[in-house]
């Protein structure tokens, strides 16, 4: 997602002293009121994840606002509404194995960890992968597995997956190798050509649904070396 400029002196006083619990509650209330969106299971998962733990100290005043925030290396932590909406589209029941492409800060993976049995997350930028892995381990997310690698190749050793979520903008089409790593009946959620899509696999064919326009950082194919 794109990031606006930041000025601390424009920050409402309510954001200055909030705890993770009160901040998350305010964040979810904002999502409900702004978008008319409500997903009880997803919101419960998000309530268990302190977003402030996934942003830099100088951005923590903004951690519970409904906005994307820069992390490092030109990447962002997605807007909370986007995280909630994409997670909702996955239709997770609790026993799934999920592949995430684009670990970033690890926030999306942490939310998924409360809704799925195992989460496998790939980050193409080694420093981000290392930081996210350490952060998730320190926060005791034992069912999240992070590796540095080429997201466009998926994670064949751990396939097939019940769901795949891609948190970067794909231009063109979702790579076939990723579709092949999805179980029959599985779901892929990804922004493709600035449109949020949900693909549901049925005997090697895909039902495609569109859910409006979203902006993300681009999906970049990593160097093989």
pLDDT tens track for 2-28 = 343 334 444 454 555 678 999 999 999
CA 196, 42, 145, 69 torsion-angle sign: positive
- C-alpha 225/C-alpha 156 separation (Å) is 19
Contact 168, 101 (CB under 8 A): yes
SS3 205: strand
pLDDT tens track for 143-177 = 999 999 988 899 999 999 999 999 988 888 999 99
pLDDT value of residue 16: 57
Contact 156, 137 (CB under 8 A): no
pLDDT value of residue 17: 67
Q: Which CATH superfamily, name and number, covers 8-213?
A: Vaccinia Virus protein VP39 (3.40.50.150)
Q: Which position among 39, 47, 78, 121 bears the catalytic label?
A: 78
Q: What is the pTM of this model?
A: 0.89
78 in active site:
yes
- C-alpha 197/C-alpha 99 separation (Å) is 16
Burial class (CB in 10 A: 0-12, 13-18, 19+), 5: exposed
Higher pLDDT, 7 or 120: 120
């Amino acid at each position: 997602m794109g990031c606006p400029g930041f000025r601390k002196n424009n920050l409402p006083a309510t954001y200055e002293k909030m705890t993770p619990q009160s901040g998350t509650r305010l964040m979810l209330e904002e999502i409900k009121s702004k978008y008319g969106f409500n997903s009880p299971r997803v919101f419960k998962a998000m309530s268990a994840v302190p977003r402030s733990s996934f942003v830099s100290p100088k951005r923590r005043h903004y951690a519970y606002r409904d906005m994307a925030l820069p992390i490092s290396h030109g990447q962002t932590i997605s807007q909370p509404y986007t995280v909630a909406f994409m997670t909702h589209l996955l239709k997770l029941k609790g026993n799934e194995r999920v592949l995430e492409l684009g670990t970033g800060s690890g926030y999306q993976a942490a939310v998924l960890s409360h809704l799925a049995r195992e989460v496998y997350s790939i980050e193409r930028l080694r420093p981000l992968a290392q930081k996210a892995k350490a952060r998730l381990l320190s926060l005791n997310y034992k069912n999240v597995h992070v590796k540095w690698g080429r997201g466009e190749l998926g994670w064949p050793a751990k396939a097939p997956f019940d769901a795949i979520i891609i948190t970067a903008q794909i231009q063109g089409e979702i790579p076939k190798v990723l579709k092949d790593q999805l179980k029959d009946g599985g779901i892929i959620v990804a922004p493709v050509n600035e449109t949020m899509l949900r693909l549901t696999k049925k005997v090697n064919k895909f039902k495609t649904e569109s859910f409006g326009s979203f902006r993300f950082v681009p999906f970049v194919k990593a160097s093989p070396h």
